[in-house]
Structure 1
């Protein structure tokens, strides 16, 4: 695939602010995005774990579905309970294909009069087309391309944001709604992609720079780039679409059974009815899958990167790494990837081949660092 030229890349509403703050910009999902700031990836990572980090995620796709049949329409595309999602709550969901593979993962919030949906940047055009192709009469889809999206993450996120919008302190994990910040009409959820407590905040594009500066003026907050975002989410055992999840991987293989609602399973009142349901529900029933996503911790400090092949003690190839780094908070080389189901034995040792050497890795539970979502 040819590299995109800078002129072909899109810019988020915060692009000028990133440059002003000395960000190193890189191409990502069709946008120019900040990979790090002068603070550096490791310090940005630790800043988020210890205080609060502000992330520009405006490259993500934001969509509003409106109409009486919106929830039923969306539920027909995902193995998740959308119809009974409580008003003011958000839920993680997965678009599946007819083979049971994952087209994308997404967040869905129910605001009573509409559903607010956030999809991944690299998949947003296909996701929006997928939803449009299934719109019933009376349901409309509005792409919110005039809004920025930021994430304020870390144990001090609530302290910093509460100075600007005191009511956010009353929210718990996966609450979502419309809240004004300094006169701007924002959409806020208490959620995120770091494993820490925090918020995702959708802002009218014209207010994004001003509100971001207000947040950066709080003593707990620093801007954080894509580099630390990746190490934070990996420590927290969270998948990255296109790496740990793809169209050839089912939710069962991806160890995402928790994301398949009970009412959509074989014995549920709204069982099946989503693309690939027979395959996915069959895998759940048989408990017989050829491979499984697992976490791994290295015995040494050398990072084991995506694409590294994995072997058993008898030198049989058993799988591949899909994400890997040195975790600054975990204090170890960490990775996730897929291994044959027979090899997916907790605390057993497997071997990653790095530059001709077989490095021992211990199969581990995830997350590698405890998640600290605020559940009240």
Structure 2
């Protein structure tokens, strides 16, 4: 008898079925992978106009109480008390060895209120980890049931205004509560300007239909979301980040405030200080394969002599870049852009060059 958990379903699944979505499994959810337009057109439409993504598999947690800032600053390498109201911050949950349990976005909504957005596949693990820490603080930690929609692309702001939700005051990595039970942040996973809107189920279908009534908007599935984030040089937890990867090796040390790298009291602080002092042995880099053949996650990276020197963690074709794109880990000594590496795909040797990230310019609305 199988003990496999039943697949979870998006609250707006019927809307995706009506739109002709092709579904697949992701992080325990039945997710729309592509729509009839196909991944290439969905990707380019997001870069050129406005793509709508249903990311309701992501988990929101509300953190509230007099100890909320101290609690988050213990759980994450984050100075939560220093966040301005409405400010969002990319951060990570670390284990004692400074391995990355998950990457998160934390937004301060009030003096003692924060919103945490976590990845779908890690939501249960994150909740257990947070709850184990919460016992030491005056804080409540509440998972929220919300539909989460992302509208991404250069037309996103104008589309939102036309739909009756003016978020033009927000800049990249800021958030607000525009209506009761709603949470909106100017953020995303594509490298484009855009918004992520969490809203109650009762409001969600009507709002999604309003957005889709705009000619500038079309549904975009998980496949294009992956190619968009890869071109933007953004990590996917479970591939580019995991519990055996630390922030220094992952090249996301910028997410840890400098003062905290030296004297932080967060979980994993001592291990991270040692890694920084000793120097990370490997580094996440962009990779540009020669030719048109995409290189996929799991492919080994080798030198000219055929010796393994690293691994590909994400890879595919970049429709906007116009060539295959990938990310992976190599020895620090091989991490300079332009360094020539190789891999094997179905018995064929393919050359790759270390490439600076991102592959396409990020176009966020900065403050």
Q: State the TM-score bracket (shorter-chain normalisation).
A: over 0.9
Aligned-residue RMSD, C-alpha: 1.4
2:258 equivalent to 1:252: no
- Equivalent position SS for 2:84: coil
- TM-score under structure 1 normalisation? 0.94
Change in Cα spacing, 1:120 to 1:83, as seen in structure 2 (3 Å) is: same
What is the CA-CA distance between 1:185 and the residue it aligns to?
A: 4.1
Aligned to 2:277: 285
- Any idea what the Cα deviations from partners look like across 1:163-197, whole Å, max 9, x if unmatched? 234531121111101113xxx74210000000000
Contact 2:297 2:315 in 1 (8 A): yes
Deviates more, 1:306-315 or 1:158-167: 158-167
Checking the alignment, whether the CA contact within 8 Å between 1:4 and 1:27 is kept in structure 2 is: no
Equivalences for 1:231-246 in 2 at 5 Å? 231-246=227-242
The answer to whether the 8 Å contact 1:195/1:232 transfers is: yes
Cα deviations across residues 54-109 of structure 1 (Å, max 9, x unaligned)? 00000111110110111111111111221211111111010000111000000100
- Confirm or deny that 1:157 pairs with 2:156: yes
Counterpart residue number, 2:143: 143
The unaligned stretches of length 5 or more in structure 2 are: none
Q: Aligned runs of 1:214-233 on 2, under 5 Å? A: 214-233=210-229
Kindly provide the CA deviation profile for residues 297-318 of structure 1, in whole angstroms up to 9, marking residues without a partner as x.
1111100000101111232210
Contact 1:81–1:263 (8 Å) recurs in 2: no
Q: Secondary structure of 1:179's match?
A: coil
Change (3 A) 1:341 1:137: closer
In the alignment, is residue 177 of structure 1 matched against residue 186 of structure 2? no
Q: What CA deviation, in whole Å up to 9, does each residue of 1:257-290 have, x standing for no partner? A: 1111122121xxxx2212221221222233x222
Task: Provide the rounded CA distance (Å) in 2 between the counterparts of 1:206 and 1:325.
Answer: 37
TM-score (normalised: structure 2):
0.96
Residue 62 of structure 1: aligned partner: 60
**Aligned residues of 1:22 and 1:37 also touching (Cα < 8 A):** yes
After superposition, give the CA deviation of every residue in 1:209-267 in whole Å (9 maximum; x if it has no partner).
Answer: 1110001111210000000000000000000000000000000000111111122121x
How many residues align structurally? 364
Tell me by how many angstroms 1:137 deviates: 4.6
Q: Pairwise mapping of residues 44-123 of structure 1 onto structure 2 (< 5 A)?
A: 44-112=42-110, 113-123=112-122
CA distance in 2, matches of 1:47, 1:318: 37
Aligned to 2:305: 314
Q: Secondary structure at the match of 1:138?
A: coil
Inter-partner Cα distance in structure 1 for 2:138 and 2:253: 33
CA contact (8 A) 2:261 2:272 kept: no
Give unpaired runs (5+ residues) of structure 1.
none
